[in-house]
């Protein structure tokens, strides 16, 4: 297993690679070409430059998070063909660069949604939070202003300022696009790219919708155990797989995370894990917490045990840490709390492994 941190690049991240290298157990990073707009093809030389920068710090570029998908592909417009071709070029160049994991999402318009990027907890730490009551009473374009104001000066994926002007046009394009149609569009995309993935052994790992329900009335399709089974059935290639994000799937408390991990239709397709915890306040209202089980609503030991039981040997990273010890960083992506998350997972994993009497 590769334990990693997400790194947004020198231009977009306050955390230095040499600091990531100092976290015990971390072997690499997942990153992206954040300045390439969705729909454009990634150049091999740009991928190699990123890879060389990471390797110069003594780490591996373990995967990409993300090669963003153009909205025309998600909607199913005729123009999707050129964007799919560009996506295939990007995958081919990643394969040539010996990068074999791509985390991506199929969320409509917004990659993820939070209503507060700096909610203060009783201990003085700051976390990301979601309140469905605020979503019901705010217009999407106002959410952009809110996110920009609380982003600590960083441009956040899915909430780029230039996208604000496209919002109303995108909502118009999504009119009449049902969840069933969006699943068809996902199948069309997967069927088109899987031959490239097979050739270069690139594991595609779709990320669950965050949160795992409809937001602003837009249909979401990666929300439950049943939906993961449906996506696995869209294309039977092992390279059509999942990012098991505990916080995203777990935002719906009906989702039993250890059960999902052990599901025979899903377990072999889990290529990437986002390991994090959240705390529910009431229905539709939650905030993120430390990784510790007792600080949130997930039993992180049981999640780690389920991963161990299925023989998980993919890529894992801690996710959405708190802002602690006065750190100023990209919301959810400071160094300190994610490093604590790695240490916590390492402890769980070692205890589980050493207590396995069958080995």
What average pLDDT does the structure give for the chain?
93
Q: Are 150 and 331 in contact (CB under 8 A)?
A: yes
Listed residue (296, 301, 241) closest to 273, CA to CA = 241
pTM: 0.93
Q: Of the listed 319, 336, 337, 344, which one is catalytic?
A: 319
Local confidence band at 158 (pLDDT 50, 70, 90 cut-offs): low
Q: Which residue has the higher pLDDT, 41 or 320?
A: 41
Residue 242 in 3-state DSSP? strand
351 φ/ψ angles, rounded to the nearest 5 degrees: -65, -45
pLDDT at residue 168, as a whole number: 77
pLDDT at residue 216, as a whole number: 82
pLDDT at residue 203, as a whole number: 98
Query: Catalytic residue at 319?
Result: yes
Beta-bridged to residue 103, according to DSSP, are: 65, 205
Q: Are 317 and 271 in contact (CB under 8 A)?
A: no
Tabulate helix, strand, coil % of the chain (nearest 5): 40, 20, 40
Peptide bond into 111 cis (omega under 30): no
Beta-bridged to residue 270, according to DSSP, are: 242
Local confidence band at 115 (pLDDT 50, 70, 90 cut-offs): confident
Mean pLDDT check: name the lowest of 14-23, 308-317, 324-333, 336-345: 324-333
**Mean pLDDT, residues 340-358 taken together:** 95
Mean pLDDT check: name the lowest of 89-93, 173-177, 204-208, 335-339: 173-177
Query: Catalytic residue at 320?
Result: yes
* Both tokens assigned to 336: 């300190």
Beta-bridged to residue 6, according to DSSP, are: 30
Local confidence band at 152 (pLDDT 50, 70, 90 cut-offs): low
pLDDT at residue 3, as a whole number: 98
Q: Of the listed 104, 130, 200, 333, which one is catalytic?
A: 333
Residues 12-71 pLDDT 10s:
899 999 999 999 999 999 999 988 989 999 999 999 999 999 999 999 999 999 899 999
* Both tokens assigned to 290: 């430390």
Q: How far apart are CA 87 and CA 39, in angstroms?
A: 7
* Both tokens assigned to 40: 């454009």
Q: Of the listed 100, 291, 320, 336, which one is catalytic?
A: 320
**Mean pLDDT, residues 330-359 taken together:** 94
Residues 131-145 pLDDT 10s:
998 888 877 777 777
Query: Catalytic residue at 12?
Result: no
* Both tokens assigned to 190: 């997967």
Q: Are 344 and 3 in contact (CB under 8 A)?
A: no
Residue 123: CB atoms within 10 Å: 9
Local confidence band at 169 (pLDDT 50, 70, 90 cut-offs): confident
Sequence-distant (≥ 6) Cβ neighbours of residue 317 within 8 angstroms: 3, 4, 5, 6, 30, 272, 273, 274, 275, 338
* Burial class of 328 by CB neighbour count within 10 A (0 to 12, 13 to 18, 19+): exposed
Q: Of the listed 13, 130, 200, 207, which one is catalytic?
A: 207
* Both tokens assigned to 170: 């995108």
207 φ/ψ angles, rounded to the nearest 5 degrees: -90, 135
Domains of the chain: 2-354 (3.20.20.150)
Local confidence band at 192 (pLDDT 50, 70, 90 cut-offs): very high
pLDDT at residue 358, as a whole number: 81
User: What percent of the chain lies above the pLDDT cut of 70?
Assistant: 95
* Both tokens assigned to 46: 């740009």
Q: Of the listed 70, 245, 291, 336, which one is catalytic?
A: 245
pLDDT at residue 160, as a whole number: 65
Peptide bond into 66 cis (omega under 30): yes
pLDDT at residue 128, as a whole number: 93
pLDDT at residue 205, as a whole number: 98
Q: Of the listed 70, 100, 271, 274, which one is catalytic?
A: 274
Local confidence band at 111 (pLDDT 50, 70, 90 cut-offs): confident
Local confidence band at 214 (pLDDT 50, 70, 90 cut-offs): confident
Residues 220-264 pLDDT 10s:
999 999 999 999 999 999 999 999 999 999 999 999 999 999 999
Sequence-distant (≥ 6) Cβ neighbours of residue 341 within 8 angstroms: 275, 276, 290, 291, 318, 319, 321
**Mean pLDDT, residues 138-159 taken together:** 70
Residue 165: CB atoms within 10 Å: 10
Q: How far apart are CA 25 and CA 1, in angstroms?
A: 10
Residue 260: CB atoms within 10 Å: 23
Local confidence band at 159 (pLDDT 50, 70, 90 cut-offs): low
pLDDT at residue 155, as a whole number: 64
Listed residue (281, 280, 275) closest to 304, CA to CA = 275
Per-residue pLDDT at 156 exceeds 70: no
Q: How far apart are CA 324 and CA 333, in angstroms?
A: 11
Q: How far apart are CA 112 and CA 7, in angstroms?
A: 18
Residue in this structure with the two tokens 């889990």, named with its chain if needed: 270
């Amino acid at each position: 297993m590769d334990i990693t941190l997400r790194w947004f690049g020198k231009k977009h991240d306050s955390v230095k690679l040499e600091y990531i290298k100092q976290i015990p157990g971390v072997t690499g990073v997942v990153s992206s070409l954040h300045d390439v707009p969705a729909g454009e093809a990634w150049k091999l030389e740009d991928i190699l430059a990123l890879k060389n920068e990471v390797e110069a710090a003594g780490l591996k570029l373990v995967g990409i998070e993300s090669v963003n998908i153009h909205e025309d592909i998600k909607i199913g417009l005729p123009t999707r063909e050129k964007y799919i071709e560009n996506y295939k070029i990007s995958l081919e160049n990643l394969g040539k660069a010996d990068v074999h994991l791509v985390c991506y999402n199929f969320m409509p318009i917004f990659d993820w949604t939070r209503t507060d990027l700096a909610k203060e907890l009783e201990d003085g730490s700051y976390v990301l939070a979601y309140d469905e009551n605020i979503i019901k009473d705010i217009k999407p374009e106002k959410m952009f202003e809110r996110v920009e104001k609380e982003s600590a000066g960083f441009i956040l994926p899915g909430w780029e300022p230039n996208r604000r002007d496209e919002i109303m046009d995108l909502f118009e394009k999504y009119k009449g696009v049902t969840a069933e149609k969006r699943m068809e569009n996902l199948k069309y995309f997967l069927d088109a790219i899987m031959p490239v993935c097979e050739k270069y052994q690139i594991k595609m790992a779709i990320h669950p919708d965050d949160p795992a329900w409809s937001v602003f009335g837009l249909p979401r399709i990666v929300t439950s155990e049943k939906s993961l089974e449906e996506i696995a059935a869209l294309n039977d290639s092992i390279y059509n797989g999942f990012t098991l994000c505990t916080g995203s799937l777990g935002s719906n408390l009906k989702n039993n995370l250890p059960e999902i991990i052990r599901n025979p239709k899903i377990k072999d397709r889990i290529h990437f894990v986002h390991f994090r915890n959240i705390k529910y306040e009431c229905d539709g209202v939650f905030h993120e917490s430390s990784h510790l089980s007792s600080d949130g609503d997930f039993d992180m030991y049981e999640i780690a045990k389920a991963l161990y039981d299925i023989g998980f040997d993919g890529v894992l990273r801690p996710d959405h840490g708190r802002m602690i010890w006065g750190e100023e960083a990209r919301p959810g992506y400071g160094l300190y709390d994610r490093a604590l998350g790695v240490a916590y997972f390492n402890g769980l994993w070692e205890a589980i492994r050493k207590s396995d009497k069958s080995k």
